[in-house]
Amino acid sequence: MSDKISGSCLCGAVTYEVQNDFKRFYFCHCGQCQKITGSAHASNLMTEPDAIKWTAGEAHKKQFNYPDRDFTVVFCTECGSGLPFVTKSGKALIVPAGSLDAQPNIQPNNNIFWAERASWYDDGKLANKCEGFPS
């Protein structure tokens, strides 16, 4: 496994390289993560704040800080894809797992804020599995 892993937004305007030495990998089911992702949960990896090197498109990054909370989202201004960011406390780099171009060094550790999970999440795991759109 490489000691570095690349990542990007969907349109490729923003690219980065990060140390593939992640410490935690959470599926966050809180209400804010549901809103930010438009899905049942966020899939976030955590590592050291200085583990990232932006390789292209930093000017396309936009940051939103949720008022009165320690909650941030960074995204590409061209395609809206989630991008890595350093927490407000400066103690961790959060990397959206879906923005990575290869597999990280760890598997998910925890489903956090489980009590806030979407009511349809558990049933959704039981739905039919299809290789593409259903026939």
Give the separation between CA 122 and CA 61, rounded to whole angstroms: 34
Q: Selecting from 3.20.20.70, 2.170.150.70, 3.30.300.30, 3.40.50.2020, what CATH number does the domain 4-120 have? A: 2.170.150.70
Q: Does 1 have pLDDT greater than 60?
A: no
For the chain, the domains span 4-120
Mean pLDDT, residues 14-41: 95
User: Could you report the per-residue pLDDT of 35-93, keeping only the tens digit for each?
Assistant: 989 999 999 999 999 999 999 999 999 999 888 777 789 999 999 999 999 998 899 99
pTM: 0.92
With 70 as the cut, is the pLDDT of residue 2 above it?
no
